[in-house]
Structure 1
Amino acid sequence: MRIVIAGGHGKIALRLERLLAARGDTPVGLIRNPDHATDLREAGAEPVVIDLEKATVTELTEKVMGADAVVFAAGAGPGSGAARKDTVDRAAARLLADAASLAGVRRYLMVSAIGVDDGPAPGTDEVWAAYVEAKRAADADLRERSLELDWTILRPGRLTDDPGTGRVRLAPKVERGDVTRDDVAAVLVALLDEPASIGRTLELVGGDTPVAEAVAAATA
C-alpha cells in the first residue's frame, strides 16, 4: 500500500514509516523542512516537501493522488502558540481530508488525543486549551465525512519515548494513562489492516493485550 503521512518527520510518523517500509508498503512523508528528507529516506519513506499551513487543497491533492490511505500525524509541537494549534492541528487536518476526498483516497487515519471531547480542564493554560479545542474540532469535522472517507480516529494517552511493549489497552473510552510512541505506530498499522475500524473513535494507553488482539477486540 502507498500510505501518505502528514507530519512525516514527527516521532510517531517516523516509527510508522519504518514499520510500513519493513513490511513492503510505500510510506510517503509530507514534510515542511527539506532538511528532514534524509531522515525519512533512512526510515524507508519517500519525502515530499509541502507546507500544510500554506498549501492549497489543489497542491495537496496532487501529493496524495494514488495513495491507498492517508494518516494525519502532524502537530504544531511544543513551543508553538495557540494560533498554530488551530492552523496545524485543526486546519491542516481538514485540508488533508479535503485533499483525500478530491483525490479519491477514502481511507483516513487521524492521530488525535485522549479525552478531547471532554474539552480542556478548568484552569488549563491558553495554549493547551487551544490544542484540545483544535483536536476536538478536527475530529468532529472528520466524523461528518463518512460518505466520502473511511475514517478512524485514534486517541493516544500521554506519549512517551520508552521502548514499545506491544501490549496496549484500546477501546472507545479508557482511563487516561501513558502509551509509547512505538505502540501507537504499531496500532496505526493494525488499524490500517482492519476494515472494522472504519467509523470508530478509539482511545489508547499502555496495557496487557497484544496489539493485534486489542484491535480485533475493539473493532468487533
Structure 2
Amino acid sequence: YERSLPPQQNLTKAILLSINYFTGSSLHSPTVREPAYNFSGTAVIDQDFKEIQLSDFKGKYLVLFFYPLDFTFVCPTEIIAFSDRIKEFHAINTEVVGVSTDSHFSHLAWINTSRKSGGLGPLNYPLLSDFNKTISRDYGVLVEEEGVALRGLFIIDPKGILRQITVNDLPVGRSVDETLRLVKAFQFVEEHGEVCPANWKPDSPTIKPDPKGSKEYFEKVN
C-alpha cells in the first residue's frame, strides 16, 4: 500500500505523523492502518487520580472509547457493561479506557454514585478526562458546538496501529460482545494468517486468502 502512494503523498503522511509524534496534536482524522494519535491526561483509577498516556498500553490491544457526558442515561450502561466484563478483555491481552470531556473530579463523583442512582459504582478500568477536548478533537469525535464527544470506539493494536473505528450518534449505545469479537478476530488473523468472514466467532470457519485456498471455505458453508 505504501509503495502505491505517490512520493508527495508519502512525504505528506510522514510529516503529519511526525507532527503528532512530537506534539501530540493531529491535523486530520484518525485512519485505520495508521498509528493512533498520542493522548495523555488525568484518569480515575481505583478511586485515585493518575496520569496516563497511549504508550502505557504498548504491547497490548487497547479499546479506547468516547462517550458524551457523565451523569447521563445511555453512558452508564455502556461504561458498566465494559467494566463488568473486563476479565474477558484481560484474558485476550486487551485493556479498556473510557474518555469524556468531563473533569476527573466529575468522573470520581460519578464513580462514587451508586448504580441504582444512575452512577457507576466501582470501575475496573481507567476513566480519562479530556477536559480541554484535545483528545476528542484529535480522534475526530468532538461535536464542537456542544463540547461533547460522539460515541467513538477505537481498537488499537499492540504496535499502536488503529485497526477498527466505530462512531455512533449520541442516542445509541455500543455492544461489548461485538467489541470482543472484533479484537479476537484481529488476533486470530495475526496468529493464523487466515481471514475472518461475516459474523465470525471463535471456532467458526475462516478463509485462506487466496483463490484456490478460499474454495475450501466456500464449499464448506454453501
TM-score (norm 2): 0.28
The structure where helix makes up a greater share of residues is 1
Name the structure, 1 or 2, with higher relative contact order (CA <8 Å, separation 6+): 2
* TM norm structure 1: 0.28
